Amino acid sequence: MNEATESADETRTATVTIGEIEDFGSNIYCRDVDKFQHVLLLAQETFDSLGIEPYNYVYIRPAVGDQRSGGHRDEEPPPVYALPFADGFSPDSDGPTALLKSSLQKDVLEETDSGHADIEVAPHETAREATRSREYIALRLPAFVETDLSTCYMNPTDLGESPWSEDQPIEVYNLQNGARIRLIVKTLDRIDRNHIAISNVVRQMLDRKSVDQVNHETIDTARVGVRTPVQAILPAPATRGIARSAWTKILSKFVGFKRINAEVRPGYDRDEERGIARVDEETQQLLGISEGDRLVVEWNGLKHPLRCLTPPAESPEIVANADSNSNSDADSIPDNNGSLSDRTDTDTRVNTTNEIYLPTTERRKTYACINDVVDIRRDMSYTAINRITLSVFGIIGVLVGGEPLFTRLYAWLGTLETPVPGGVLQDGGLALTVLAMSVFII
């Protein structure tokens, strides 16, 4: 089923029948990495009927009359990232016309045990309102601007005509493969209109070129989309209280961290359901952590702590869909970098950026997709607890290792003519403890 309608307020909708990976062949993906995504895959004709381009956000909700809709029909529909099927692929009219993994189906349907379901798809505001999403040409950062991986510079007039404000987050994305990154927008007078300036590293992560690297025929490789950030299907994090905010400030001052960007790559089979992320040793050094420490992944307004490990020398098979027992990806063999061996040009470029390998179960907790650029930093609470633990063991070591010294000090105190009031030196307990703490502090 694939029906399009238009309501009185001119918001188009389409009703599609969703299936899972096993309902389709292996030739439905634009890229092999798309089979690892927590997204909605739609046919191009569905995008056309909605009046939007691929790699936009859409609302999804159970269609009227669907037997599995339960009580979710009247709830606010969640936004989902929508990707296209491969060029030339047209779903069979007798079967499902869209692909939604079962883990996402649970968020909009009460039952996901068997069969297909009809859902209603509608464009998100960022897709249907021109003021919330615009296209720009990417530039290099001017030489006089300090390199900043978290900032996007824009012409003041362009920013004034947009819905965004200076020092607020925006989402910059690749119009051709959907890779996304969230940056802070700032103004710069020397930026031409309809252009934005971002760092070389960010452009490479998004697989975009600078306008000075292209000609009229290849200008699309320098084109990016900019839109208002969207809180996707997961609930927004709870507002931090005063105590939590104060604790975070204390940790930032005494522990600190360095926030860096990292491109999301498919994770490893062995890491599913284990709370593990993998980054190379160089990235660990940049973060100030070691293997086995914890890092925090930030994306989509969510923060997710994970244990950090180094990618293995040999890669096991990557799980395409942790929710399915399908063998649809059996012909995709990962290389020794933990990525698919038959990657596209986008995926085989020489890598000079940071990468983080996230398994399916961990990507879904932040709603991050393959090729998205997330923020990572070390877990300050974990680091602080480690330091406190080492200090405690140091105190214990002083107490145990310094016993002969304390015995002599106690004997010397016993020779004093003036007794200590209250008998606090009985058995030397409190005195030795106080002395031990004093020696440790000194």
Label residue 270 by pLDDT band (50, 70, 90).
Answer: confident
For 139-152, what is each residue's pLDDT tens digit?
Answer: 998 888 877 788 99
Position 346 scores a pLDDT of 37
Q: Which of 239, 243, 138, 147 is nearest to 192 (CA)?
A: 138
Label residue 16 by pLDDT band (50, 70, 90).
Answer: very high
Co-location of 371 and 290 in the same domain? yes
- Cite the DSSP H helix spans in 267-348: 281-287, 345-348
Q: What is the pTM of this model?
A: 0.72
pLDDT at 306 over 50: yes
**DSSP per position, 392-415:** HHHHHHHHHHTHHHHHHHHHHHHT
- Residue 341 falls within a domain, yes or no? yes
- Residue 87 falls within a domain, yes or no? yes
Domain that holds residue 203: 130-227
Q: How many domains does the chain have?
A: 4
Co-location of 163 and 246 in the same domain? no
Q: Where are the beta strands (DSSP E) in 275-342?
A: 276-278, 294-299, 302-309
Co-location of 135 and 223 in the same domain? yes
- Residue 103 falls within a domain, yes or no? yes
Q: Which of 256, 258, 247, 285 is nearest to 383 (CA)?
A: 256
Residue entry with tokens 């956000």: 57
Could you give phi then psi for residue 57, rounded to 5 degrees?
Answer: -85, 145
Position 423 scores a pLDDT of 45
User: Domain ends where: 196, 227, 258?
Assistant: 227
Between 124 and 339, the higher pLDDT residue:
124
At 94, list the tokens: 């007798």
Q: Which range (33-37, 137-141, 343-347) has the least confidence?
A: 343-347
Q: Which of 47-51, 116-120, 404-408, 429-433 ranks highest by mean pLDDT?
A: 47-51
Return the SS3 of 442. Answer: coil
Measured CA to CA, the distance from residue 121 to residue 104 in angstroms comes to 14
At 292, list the tokens: 């086995």
Co-location of 350 and 433 in the same domain? no
Co-location of 289 and 202 in the same domain? no
Contact 183, 151 (CB under 8 A): yes
Co-location of 147 and 202 in the same domain? yes
CA 408 vs. chain centroid, Å, equals 59
Between 327 and 249, the higher pLDDT residue:
249
Give the residue-averaged pLDDT of 311-317. Answer: 63
Checking DSSP bridges between strand 355-358 and strand 169-174, what pairing results, if any?
unpaired
**Which CATH number does the domain housing residue 343 bear?**
2.40.40.20
Could you give phi then psi for residue 113, rounded to 5 degrees?
Answer: -75, -40
At 144, list the tokens: 């006089």
- Residue 298 falls within a domain, yes or no? yes
Contact 298, 406 (CB under 8 A): no
Residues 6+ apart with CB under 8 A from 99: 18, 19, 20, 21, 23, 24, 28, 40, 41, 85
Measured CA to CA, the distance from residue 345 to residue 30 in angstroms comes to 12
Co-location of 263 and 350 in the same domain? yes
Position 415 scores a pLDDT of 60
Measured CA to CA, the distance from residue 395 to residue 423 in angstroms comes to 25
pLDDT at 437 over 90: no
Give the residue-averaged pLDDT of 343-352. Answer: 39
**DSSP per position, 251-286:** HHHHT----EEEEEEE--GGGTTTTEEE--HHHHHH
